[in-house]
């Protein structure tokens, strides 16, 4: 703005004086200001360049439990506010191993879920954890915890939901079978259900989903039943002639 004014009126004017004069005369710029500082934008560009590769490549299958995991955040509309659910599940049997609620979509929600996962798994070294490219999963604090646990990050492409479709499907099951069937879809979407009731329903449903809800691709067993029957996985057994 300073150089532009100088070219227009032939007089140099400093930034501070310009701001003061605009304030005194109740003038505002019509140019949309940047949302973040240049330092923040530079940091975000650096983070995007360092994004992990996709180790899954839509091969949503695992021969043994606790080796290839998926993660995603979904929103849950409530009477008071929207809350967010971050879930980590297993490609082996779609079992939910860890989840957390939060009022904010931030890195803390994901790191807290990850710490819960570390308490569940006997070993985390070399375990693949696949997610989308959301900023919560690209945060340094989250990546540092992944490295501390010895896990391998995997990310689908930006804006391509199919790269994490099993997790998207699980979120859909939670919303449909847990919330819409219990409270009514319009009541949920129009925020008529209190937060405590939504959270209690989700907690109860995940327990039911893991232990009792049959899945066709698991031979109509629940995720937990399938894992207990196949504790070492489902590797093909060679048939002797």
Residues 41, 160, single domain; the answer is no
Residues 109 and 115 sit within 8 Å (Cβ to Cβ): no
Residues 114 and 99 sit within 8 Å (Cβ to Cβ): no
C-alpha to C-alpha distance for 225 and 204, rounded to whole angstroms = 18
Q: Taking phi first (over 0 means left), then psi (-120 to 50 degrees means alpha), and beta for anything else, what does residue 184 get?
A: left
- Domains: count for the chain: 2
Residues 34, 141, single domain; the answer is no
Query: Which helix (H) or strand (E) element contains residue 74?
Result: strand 68-77
Confidence (pLDDT) at 157: 79
Tokens at residue 61, please?
């299958």
Residues 198, 225, single domain; the answer is yes
Query: Which helix (H) or strand (E) element contains residue 88?
Result: strand 82-90
C-alpha to C-alpha distance for 229 and 84, rounded to whole angstroms = 33
Q: What is the pLDDT along the chain (241 residues), one digit of tens a residue?
A: 556 566 666 667 777 887 888 888 887 776 666 666 676 666 666 666 678 889 999 999 999 999 999 999 999 999 999 999 999 999 999 999 999 999 999 999 999 999 999 999 989 999 999 999 888 998 989 999 999 999 999 998 776 778 889 999 999 999 999 999 999 999 999 999 999 999 999 999 999 999 999 999 999 999 999 999 999 898 765 555 4
Both ends of the chain: CA-CA distance in Å?
Answer: 84
Residues 132, 170, single domain; the answer is yes
Residues 44, 88, single domain; the answer is no
Residues 85, 129, single domain; the answer is yes
Confidence (pLDDT) at 43: 64
Residues 6+ apart with CB under 8 A from 18: 1, 2, 5
Instruction: Note the pTM of the prediction, 2 decimals.
Output: 0.78
Residues 96, 208, single domain; the answer is yes
Residues 161, 220, single domain; the answer is yes
């Amino acid at each position: 703005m300073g150089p532009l004014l100088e070219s227009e009126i032939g007089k140099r004017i400093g930034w501070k004086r310009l701001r003061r004069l605009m304030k005194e005369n109740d003038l505002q710029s019509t140019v949309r200001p940047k949302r973040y500082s240049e330092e923040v934008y530079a940091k975000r560009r650096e983070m995007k360049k360092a994004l992990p590769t996709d180790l899954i490549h839509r091969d949503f299958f695992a021969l043994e439990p606790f080796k290839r995991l998926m993660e995603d955040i979904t929103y849950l509309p409530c009477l008071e506010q929207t809350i967010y659910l971050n879930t980590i599940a297993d490609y082996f049997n779609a079992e939910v191993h860890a989840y957390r609620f939060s009022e904010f979509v931030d890195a803390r929600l994901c790191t807290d879920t990850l710490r819960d996962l570390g308490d569940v798994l006997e070993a985390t070294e070399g375990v693949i954890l696949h997610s989308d490219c959301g900023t919560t999963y690209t945060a340094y604090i989250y990546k540092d915890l992944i490295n501390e646990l010895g896990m391998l990050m995997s990310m689908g492409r930006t804006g391509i939901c199919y790269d994490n479709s099993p997790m998207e499907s699980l979120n859909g099951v939670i919303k449909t079978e847990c919330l819409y069937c219990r409270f009514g879809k319009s009541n949920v979407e129009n925020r008529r259900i209190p937060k405590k009731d939504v959270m209690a329903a989700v907690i109860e449903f995940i327990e039911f989903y893991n232990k009792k809800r049959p899945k066709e691709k698991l031979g109509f067993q629940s995720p937990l039943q399938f894992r207990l029957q196949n504790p070492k996985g489902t590797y093909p057994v060679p048939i002797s002639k």
